[in-house]
Structure 1
Amino acid sequence: MNYKGYLIDLDGTLYNGTELIETAKDFVAKLTEKNIPYVFLTNNATKSQEEAVQKVLDMGVETTPENMYTSSMATAAYIKQHHRGSTAYVIGTPSLKEILQDSGIILTEEDADLVIMGLDLEVDYDKLSRAALLIAGGATFIATNPDKRFPTEDGIVPGNGAIQQVLIETTGIQPVTIGKPSGFILDGALKQLGLGKDEVALIGDNYDTDILTGINAGVDTIHVDTGVSRTEDVLKKDITPTHTINNLSEWSI
């Protein structure tokens, strides 16, 4: 089936950690050659748009910032729309904090209106305790993404969603989730792509984020068996992807 454009996941689909998936690189090159628009749609909130693009470029994949939409960008858009001017305690990388500041929040560690959580490789007990106390005190809990597992070149490691469980179990409060499978990040990516839901396919490896995004929104999905969710497990789900392939060399455009 021919689509006018594609939404393509990064971690587990284009690469695993620092290891490029060559079949995905070739697929992106064909899209460029045939002038088929695409947007990399990633739940990774550790990098800015520019940093995420640079990682792809450093791996030898030609792309531009216009082809990148991250959960940190989606979270910033959500803040601009709903919480501009609020104070926030942010767990995450310096890049995430900077993009959120630019969206109109004021960073604080005391009496925050919001607690915003992204993947923080330096997260510790003190950060989690502070966040839990703020949420229990009435701060709105926002998560950039719910990924419990994160694919690297060495294997699967804990993702932001796994660490969020500490706060969920402690406070009993579920976060407002911005990244996949939320429709908020999908709407932003489609706007950037300039196409409608019925014109695109969403490509990804993770059933619980990538594939459910499409299923929830009525967007066709293509599952690739190169990352988190194995095909044998995906095919046991009550609702399966529109298409299931081993890797992107099997997809014709």
Structure 2
Amino acid sequence: MTTVEHPIECWLTDMDGVLVHEGHALPGAADFIAALKRADRPFLVLTNNSIFTARDLRARLAASGIDVPEEAIWTSALATAQFLQQQVPGGRAYAIGEAGLTTALHDVGYTMTDSDPDYVVLGETRTYSFEAITRAIRLIEGGARFIATNPDPTGPSVDGPLPATGAVAALITRATGREPYFVGKPNPMMFRSALNRIEAHSETTAMVGDRMDTDVVAGIEAGLRTFLVLTGSTRAEDVDRFPFRPSQVVPSIADLVGLV
């Protein structure tokens, strides 16, 4: 375990694989969130999922027994909208995605258009349209800048993996020769925007995640203390394959309740 000079005052945590799995709360998840609230610790639940609004995700977590306030949920769609608002305030976007993305863009003053947008913004949807992808390709070739909410190539479903934002972004890149700028994990920008949202400092903030290649690496690059839980994607035997290490590996988030 890495020696840390500063106490942990704020927490960031991933959602899928840390708090929930396939709609069910993981052991200790509800207790961990309750402990954060009792201790009045600033915290955010982070997710690369851009399909749902924060209100939707709050309801889904509540259904599994985890009580997270809407304002404590930070999605890649919200981070993307904030980034675009900072880059081109009041801009125009052609968006491929669900309500989580379009609502976030509207809320920062963006106008949705399929004619001469500043940006093509690609998010996740369960119903990718060939026509929409074709329009995106033509707009990018016409000069629109290409943004994607996250690089995840697949998403989970009860029937198995589904193609997600990263896979469709690769298709558009192959057709246009233009790489998107990915805002979500593992881009540490999403972590820095989260820190700013709760007025936290990196040296006193910890990140809890289940993936070495997104949660942990982005946390390290953002200067956070990192905890890897083994209830999601990364297995214990996989950790040594990476050229970086988390501050600590624990079986589940239940093992972190005492640190709050």
- Residue in 1 aligned with 2:185? 180
Secondary structure, aligned partner of 1:35: coil
Match of 1:93 among 92, 95, 98: 98
Matched letter for residue 135 of structure 2: R
Distance 2:44 2:62 in 1: 14
What does 1:140-159 align with in structure 2 at a 5 Å threshold? 140-152=145-157, 156-159=161-164
Secondary structure, aligned partner of 2:249: strand
- Residue in 1 aligned with 2:199? 194
Distance 1:231 1:156 in 2: 22
TM-score normalised to structure 1 length: 0.91
- Residue in 2 aligned with 1:121? 126
Matched letter for residue 209 of structure 1: T
In structure 2, relative to structure 1, the CA distance for the partners of 1:60 and 1:49 (3 Å cut) is: same
- Residue in 2 aligned with 1:248? 253
In structure 2, relative to structure 1, the CA distance for the partners of 1:26 and 1:34 (3 Å cut) is: same
- Residue in 2 aligned with 1:3? 8
- Is 1:82 aligned to residue 82 of structure 2? no
Matched letter for residue 75 of structure 1: T
Residues 66 and 192, structure 1, Cα contact 8 Å, conserved in 2:
no
Residue 98 of structure 1: how far off its partner (Å): 2.3
Distance 1:159 1:208 in 2: 17
Matched letter for residue 195 of structure 2: L
Match of 2:33 among 28, 31, 50: 28
Residue 154 of structure 1: how far off its partner (Å): 5.8
Total equivalences in the alignment: 253
Residue 10 of structure 1: how far off its partner (Å): 0.8
TM-score normalised to structure 2 length: 0.89
In structure 2, relative to structure 1, the CA distance for the partners of 1:151 and 1:210 (3 Å cut) is: farther
- Is 1:238 aligned to residue 243 of structure 2? yes
- Residue in 2 aligned with 1:208? 213
Residues 11 and 151, structure 1, Cα contact 8 Å, conserved in 2:
no
* Aligned residues with identical type, % of pairs: 33
Residue 17 of structure 1: how far off its partner (Å): 3.1
Residue 239 of structure 1: how far off its partner (Å): 0.8
Residue 142 of structure 1: how far off its partner (Å): 0.5
Residues 156 and 228, structure 1, Cα contact 8 Å, conserved in 2:
no
Distance 1:117 1:95 in 2: 12
Matched letter for residue 106 of structure 1: T
Secondary structure, aligned partner of 1:22: coil
In structure 2, relative to structure 1, the CA distance for the partners of 1:248 and 1:155 (3 Å cut) is: farther
- Is 1:222 aligned to residue 227 of structure 2? yes
Distance 2:149 2:175 in 1: 19
* Structure 2: segments with no counterpart, 5+ residues: none
- Residue in 2 aligned with 1:46? 51
Matched letter for residue 186 of structure 1: F
Distance 1:224 1:154 in 2: 25
Matched letter for residue 74 of structure 2: Y
Distance 1:206 1:156 in 2: 17
Residue 149 of structure 1: how far off its partner (Å): 3.5
Deviations 1:120-173 (A, max 9, x none): 111022221211121122110011111223345665543322222111222222
Residues 29 and 66, structure 2, Cα contact 8 Å, conserved in 1:
no
Residues 18 and 153, structure 1, Cα contact 8 Å, conserved in 2:
no
Deviations 1:186-216 (A, max 9, x none): 1221122222001011011122221121121
* Structure 1: segments with no counterpart, 5+ residues: none
- Residue in 1 aligned with 2:176? 171
Residue 85 of structure 1: how far off its partner (Å): 3.1
The CA RMSD measured in Å over matched residues stands at 2.0
Residues 11 and 206, structure 2, Cα contact 8 Å, conserved in 1:
yes
Residues 228 and 250, structure 2, Cα contact 8 Å, conserved in 1:
yes
